[in-house]
Amino acid sequence: MRVLVTGASGFVGRACLHALTELGCEVIAASRRPGPPAPGVEWTTVDLLAPGEAARLGREARADTLLHLGWTVDPGRFWTDPANLDWLGATLELVRAAAEAGARRVVGVGTCFEYEWPAEGDCHELNTGLRTHTLYDAAKDACRRTLEAYAAQERIAFAWGRLFYMYGPAEDPARLVPGLARSLLAGEPARLSSGLAVRDYMDVRDAGRSLALLANHTLEGPVNIATGQGVSIAGIAREMADLAGRPDLVMLGALPDRPGEPVRIVADVSRQKEALDFTPSISLRQGLNDALAHWRSRAI
């Protein structure tokens, strides 16, 4: 099977490439910057926001399946970035061109921020309500709704992988796990809020494997890409500090909690487990230890 992957050089994209080639797929990896050569991967450089480029890529890739990861992802900024509107338009253009060129399956990637988070239960793809929180998740949900209608009309198989929280080697240094790792390894205080918020954190390598399976499957509709296990931010900080041998550096409550911060965002992963036959293989402790090792090697 020939799979076109956009956003291929990104944090999640790189994990998907490895997983897809392990499944025997021929991969066309599209990105603004080409990644390292790899068996079974053909890199193509493209700016999907440039006029006409999304349609050109969709036509020329001649893919059987499109796994679309490209979107605005700058930490902190992407929530309100007006480029969300540009990415919505480019995505629709890309999917239409790919479908007209012969693609019969499209997998888009959404976010857990599409949900109206239950105060106690887990987010279920078919039973939990949706709610707009930011421009980012509003654009993602609009994209899903439009593509679902288009795919049904054109008889294309369409799935929507909703990512929850991720971490792993090569993550942007501004995010939680790299920030903790760098502080702990430098012997500096790791200042945090109360850390009581519970989140569903998945190693990006497992996320890549789950998305690759979804791209190779017949399953349609939304699918949570997550572990189904909640862990508090304080729990992550203490685990990392224990691995680094510096529990004394964790300073919970040193920063204020964010106003309106939801208590719990955890996925129901029954569709992922039962339909895709997928269960995460990397424990939180192993994943955090690998992340520490990555940042330790960068400091040498």
Does any domain span residue 271? no
User: Is-contact 38 56, C-beta < 8 A?
Assistant: no
Task: Strand 65-68: give its sheet, edge to edge.
Answer: 41-45, 26-31, 2-6, 65-68, 105-111, 157-163, 221-225
Helices of type H across the chain: 11-22, 53-61, 83-100, 135-154, 176-185, 204-215, 233-244, 270-275, 284-299
226-272 pLDDT per residue, tens:
999 999 999 999 999 999 999 999 999 999 998 988 999 999 999 99
How many distinct structural domains can be found in the chain? Answer: 2
Same domain, 13 and 141: yes
* C-alpha distance from residue 244 to each of 50, 60, 250, 252, 295 (Å): 44, 48, 11, 17, 11
CATH number at residue 114: 3.40.50.720
| pLDDT for residue 300 | 54
Same domain, 147 and 175: no
Q: Which residues contact 122 (CB under 8 A, 6 or more apart)?
A: 128, 228, 266, 267, 268
Same domain, 152 and 235: no
| pLDDT for residue 120 | 86
58-72 pLDDT per residue, tens:
999 999 999 999 999
| pLDDT for residue 298 | 84
- The low-confidence residues of the chain, meaning pLDDT below 50, are none
Same domain, 161 and 80: yes
Same domain, 208 and 123: yes
Same domain, 68 and 172: no
Q: Are β-strands 157-163 and 105-111 bridged in parallel, bridged antiparallel, or unpaired?
A: parallel
Range of the domain at 285: 168-200+229-265+276-299
Does any domain span residue 270? no
Which of 193, 162, 160, 161 has its CA nearest to residue 176? 193
One-letter amino acid for residue 30 of the chain = A
Distance CA 153, CA 20 (A): 28
Distance CA 137, CA 181 (A): 28
Same domain, 234 and 252: yes
Q: Structure tokens of 152?
A: 């049904």
- pTM for this entry: 0.96
Does any domain span residue 72? yes
Which of 235, 217, 171, 168 has its CA nearest to residue 25? 217
Same domain, 97 and 177: no
Same domain, 138 and 187: no
Q: Structure tokens of 145?
A: 């709704």
| pLDDT for residue 169 | 81
